[in-house]
Amino acid sequence: MSEEQTTGVVEPEIKDETTVGLPLNVILYNDDWHTFEEVISQIMKATKCSFEKARDLTFEVHVKGKANVFTGEISACLKVSAVLEEIALHTQIES
């Protein structure tokens, strides 16, 4: 006899698969108290990008008020965001 027949309860089927969602973005917001050098350095540290890429992203944040500085899986985005926030930069993770 199945469990459903003996207890009257239908157990849901549980799959061990992990689905990967769409990549997420780490958005960095502009502020008035960090220098360009501080932000460039922290972006390089967080994303492992080149100086030139970090400089371009920093300029975009300065001009537009925010920029997408990283795209990836949630765990990677959380790590990047945490490194940026080490110096009190303001970030947000979004899809």
Question: Residue 46 has what pLDDT?
Answer: 98
CA dist 14 and 2 (Å) reads: 17
Instruction: Identify whether 35 is part of a domain.
Output: yes
3-state class of 28 per DSSP?
strand
Instruction: Identify whether 14 is part of a domain.
Output: no
Instruction: Identify whether 10 is part of a domain.
Output: no
91 and 29 in contact (C-beta within 8 Å)?
Answer: yes
**How many domains are contained in the chain?**
1
Q: Is residue 18 pLDDT above 70, yes or no? A: no
* Residue 17 binned pLDDT confidence (cut-offs 50, 70, 90): very low
Instruction: Identify whether 1 is part of a domain.
Output: no
Instruction: Identify whether 6 is part of a domain.
Output: no
Instruction: Identify whether 15 is part of a domain.
Output: no
Beta strands in the chain (DSSP E): 24-29, 66-72, 91-94
Q: Work out the angle between the directed axes of helices 36-47 and 51-64 (0-180°, nearest 10).
A: 120
